[in-house]
């Protein structure tokens, strides 16, 4: 080897040695930060109430939370103060608003992104549905109740000691394992106090929990309504007769790019219900989840996507996508009569028009002592024993399978009389002091041939004008069109003994022919089974 070659080899060896020593020093200096846990780090504290209402501070499980952010940032990002866990979802239940909300994780691993809010029923008394933080357990596609009726997508929830036994998140009650066998009364009760402790919710909500929330998912139940969530949609019994789908949540091709209300403003009569039309881009968008708010709840109230006029004046409603990215607003004007909508609307501050200046601003409820029907000269009221009514109508009724009552000890019962071409449907709850069956709802549809009239003398064939003269102008109105059987289409006029549109409010209603606006049915509803 020449002298020149020896010099080059020595230089290469020197450079390699220098690189190795530098790397070793770097690893040594950073070993602790790479491989040794920082003992000074403490997980942020989350406060919540246990099942007995005691305030507890828990260290948050850091599973799924992005590392490298400070405790202060975590506390700031955890806007709902929910505990964290391994599940992609978190279930939050407010007993005050009767809502069940599902949240998913954000980029920090915190449950801040609300997926959807559904209505749910809770225990008929406050103690039956416990408060605290629970864990999702075993699941059943169909749960069988003692009365041999069933509920779909039952997910058990429990706390560590499982002191509350068999509590479930589940759908409504069905006669057998087919969705068309729904007991519609059990769907109407969703959103009220009527269960024995379970969270009875929509089939879609129960299906979401069943499919998407694995065992170990946390469930937090609170008294009252500290976050004040409202359901994203109204509970319709029809929706519970179809097997649910999760397409609305997991269909990327249907993402909305833009949406707006079809109207900039809309005028309603006091007591009316209105579902705003929304235009989407692209036009074939389906199942868009929106959160609704109003700046003046004394004028309009929102239930799901329905707007209820409860006061005279004006209010702005806002619909926002659940991710908060897109929103639009609409002005709602509420009067007590039809108005010329070409005139300038009152401003959003809620001032009334001149014509409304001497009109009462509050909805006038129906007096409860008017909640009865007169059949063959006898009066039958809500919440009284059903026996006299059955005796009056005779024993040739069809009794449907009884259903274990969620609100009382015993069974809800259903009776049907066929007075061709008319029909009478009766539902009862075991709410009498001796456990006897009390009238929950009585409905007459079609010409029964009976001597039948309402509490103020409205009879089959009377007009809408007759009804308004008898009971006044404070009612709600809905129209149901049946394209396959136009003769089955109807208009429903309802007088409420309390908050209009609230399913827990007793009511008197009339079914009208859509063409002649004459009475072809009437009924009373007690809401006694609502807790």
Say yes or no: 273 and 394 in one domain.
no
**Model confidence, pTM:** 0.44
By the 8 A CB rule, do 500 and 520 touch? no
Regarding whether 210 and 73 lie in a shared domain, the answer is yes
Residue 494 belongs to a domain: yes
Residues in the chain: 531
Pair (257, 237) in one structural domain: no
Strands 199-201 vs 168-170: parallel, antiparallel or unpaired: parallel
What Cα–Cα distance (Å) separates residue 71 from each residue in 55, 88, 109, 467?
21, 22, 14, 64
**What is the distance between the alpha carbons of residues 346 and 334, in angstroms, rounded to a whole number?**
10
Look at residue 350 in the predicted model and tell me its pLDDT.
32
pLDDT, position 26: 47
153 and 86 within one domain: yes
Q: What is the signed CA dihedral for 64, 66, 68, 70, rounded to 10 degrees? A: -90
Based on the domain organization, do 222 and 124 belong to the same domain? yes
Instruction: Based on the fold, state whether residues 219 and 350 are members of the same structural domain.
Output: no
Residue 281 sits in the same domain as residue 300: yes
Identify whether residues 406 and 467 lie together within a single domain.
Answer: yes
What DSSP string describes 374-401?
EETTEEEETTSBSHHHHHHH-S--EEEE
Query: Which pLDDT belongs to residue 95?
Result: 92
Domain presence at residue 514: yes
Domain total in the chain: 3
pLDDT (0 to 100) of residue 400: 79
In a domain, 262, yes or no: yes
User: Please, what is the Cα angle at 318 between 316 and 322, to 5 degrees?
Assistant: 165
Q: What is the CATH number of the domain that holds 262?
A: 2.60.40.1080
Residue 291 and residue 185 in one domain: no
Same domain, 308 and 273: yes
Residues 426-460: tens digit of each pLDDT: 988 888 888 889 998 899 998 888 999 999 999 99
At which residue do the structure tokens 């009239």 appear?
A: 453
* Domain C-terminal end among 186, 220, 241: 241
Say what the pLDDT of residue 280 is: 83
Domain boundary among 213, 241, 269: 241
Q: What pLDDT is stored for residue 121 in this prediction?
A: 93
Q: Write down the pLDDT at residue 353.
A: 31
Contact 266, 278 (CB under 8 A): no
- Asked if the structure places residue 150 within a domain, the reply is yes
Give pLDDT, residue 323: 62
* CA-to-CA dists, residue 70 to 66, 67, 113, 304, angstroms: 10, 9, 21, 38
Burial of 93 (0-12, 13-18, 19+ CB in 10 A): buried
Boundaries of domain holding 427: 368-530
Tens of pLDDT, residue by residue over 505-524, are: 788 999 999 889 999 999 99
- Report residue 406: phi and psi, to 5°: -85, -20
Residue 28 lies in a domain: no
- Provide block-wise average pLDDT over 10 residues at a time, the chain (531 residues): 61 64 48 31 31 30 56 77 90 94 87 89 84 91 88 88 74 92 90 89 95 92 87 85 81 66 89 85 70 82 76 86 78 71 44 32 78 94 92 88 71 87 88 86 91 94 92 84 74 85 79 91 76 35
Same domain, 311 and 281: yes
pLDDT of residue 162: 61
């Amino acid at each position: 080897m020449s002298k020149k070659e020896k010099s080059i080899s020595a230089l290469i060896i020197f450079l390699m040695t220098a690189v190795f020593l530098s790397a070793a020093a770097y690893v040594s200096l950073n070993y602790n930060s790479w491989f040794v846990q920082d003992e000074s780090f403490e997980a942020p504290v989350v406060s919540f109430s246990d099942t007995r209402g005691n305030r507890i501070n828990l260290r948050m499980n850091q599973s799924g939370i992005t590392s490298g952010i400070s405790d202060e940032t975590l506390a700031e990002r955890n806007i709902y103060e929910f505990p964290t866990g391994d599940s992609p979802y978190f279930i939050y239940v407010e007993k005050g608003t009767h809502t069940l909300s599902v949240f998913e994780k954000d980029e920090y691993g915190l449950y801040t992104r609300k997926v959807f809010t559904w209505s749910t029923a809770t225990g008929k008394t406050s103690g039956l549905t416990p408060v605290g933080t629970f864990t999702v357990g075993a699941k059943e596609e169909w749960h069988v109740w003692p009365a041999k009726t069933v509920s779909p997508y039952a997910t058990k929830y429990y706390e560590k000691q499982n002191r509350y036994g068999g509590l479930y998140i589940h759908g409504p009650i069905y006669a057998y394992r087919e969705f068309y066998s729904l007991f519609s009364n059990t769907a109407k009760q969703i959103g009220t106090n009527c269960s024995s402790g379970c969270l009875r919710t929509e089939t879609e909500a129960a299906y979401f929990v069943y499919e998407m929330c694995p065992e170990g998912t946390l469930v937090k139940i609170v008294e009252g309504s500290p976050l004040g969530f409202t359901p994203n949609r109204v509970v319709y019994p029809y929706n519970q007769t179809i097997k649910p789908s999760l397409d609305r949540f997991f269909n990327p091709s249907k993402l909305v790019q833009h949406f707006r209300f079809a109207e900039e403003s809309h005028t309603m009569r006091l007591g009316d219900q209105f579902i705003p039309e929304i235009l989407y881009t692209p036009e074939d968008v389906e199942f868009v989840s929106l959160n609704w708010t109003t700046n003046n709840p004394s004028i309009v109230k929102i239930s799901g996507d329905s707007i209820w006029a409860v006061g005279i004046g004006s209010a702005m409603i806002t619909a926002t996508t659940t991710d908060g990215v897109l929103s639009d607003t609409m002005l709602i004007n509420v009067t007590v009569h039809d108005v010329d909508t070409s005139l300038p609307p009152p401003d959003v501050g809620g001032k009334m028009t001149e014509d409304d200046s001497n009109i009462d601003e509050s909805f006038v409820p129906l007096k409860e002592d008017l909640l009865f029907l007169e059949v063959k000269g006898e009066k039958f009221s809500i919440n009284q024993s059903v026996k006299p009514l059955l005796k009056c109508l005779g024993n040739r009724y069809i009794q449907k399978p009884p259903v274990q009552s969620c609100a009382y000890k015993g069974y809800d019962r259903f009776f049907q009389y066929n007075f061709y071409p008319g029909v009478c449907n009766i539902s009862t709850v075991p709410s009498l002091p001796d456990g006897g069956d009390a009238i929950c709802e009585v409905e007459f549809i079609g010409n029964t041939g009976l001597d039948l009239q309402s509490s103020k003398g409205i009879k089959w064939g009377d007009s809408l004008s007759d009804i308004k003269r008898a009971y006044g102008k404070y009612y709600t109105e809905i129209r149901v069109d049946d394209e396959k059987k136009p003769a089955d289409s109807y208009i429903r006029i309802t007088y409420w003994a309390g908050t209009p549109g609230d399913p827990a409010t007793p009511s008197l209603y009339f079914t009208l022919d859509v063409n002649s606006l004459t009475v072809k049915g009437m009924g009373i509803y007690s809401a006694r089974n609502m807790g």
